[in-house]
Amino acid sequence: MFTPDLDPLRYPIGQPQLPTAPLTAAERAPYLQQLAELPAQLTAAARRVGGERLQLPYRPGGWTGRQVIHHVADSHLNAYTRFRLALTEDNPTIRPYDEAAWAELPDVAATPITVSLALLESLHSRWGTLLHHLDEAQWQRTFYHPGSQKTATLAQTLVLYAWHGRHHLAHLELLAQ
């Protein structure tokens, strides 16, 4: 799963493997389940890590556990918006954001992680409802990401954000050890 130059602390579950062909409903099901389970898993991981250790980076030069939790909320909120844009516009160009700069904003240090965990719980509930109601054609709708200069289908984006949640959950698990 790892390439020789891949840092296992930065990518503890490896990098995402995005599908190149359309996914069937059965193939999408585990990714939908992973998104649905993520808020509870992050909450449980945060409890295992504990308040003091959440102030520590999960790797040298990495974010703190607190920053990781707030980042997942920020990122998945953006992803939800990207899904809605792709469903209502023809291949919209989405707006990238500076994740590292967002992680340094004052609300990250001042806001309890429980706020972002509650946000994720509500967001994933709403997002999951949307995803479970998409038809096959809607899963193939696209958006363009100017940062990567790539067009992505919603099915590929589902796989990416299921990976993203597991990726950052693994970072929290590194702090729990």
Dig out the tokens for 38 from the structure: 């993520």
pLDDT tens for each residue of 42-55: 999 999 999 899 99
Q: Alpha-carbon distance 77 to 99, whole Å?
A: 13
Residue 63 has pLDDT above 90, yes or no: yes
pLDDT tens for each residue of 133-170: 999 999 999 999 999 999 999 999 999 999 999 999 99
Residues 6 or more apart in contact with residue 88 via CB below 8 angstroms: none
Q: Alpha-carbon distance 12 to 169, whole Å?
A: 10
Domains and CATH numbers, the chain: 25-176 (1.20.120.450)
pLDDT band at 4 (very low <50, low <70, confident <90, very high): very low
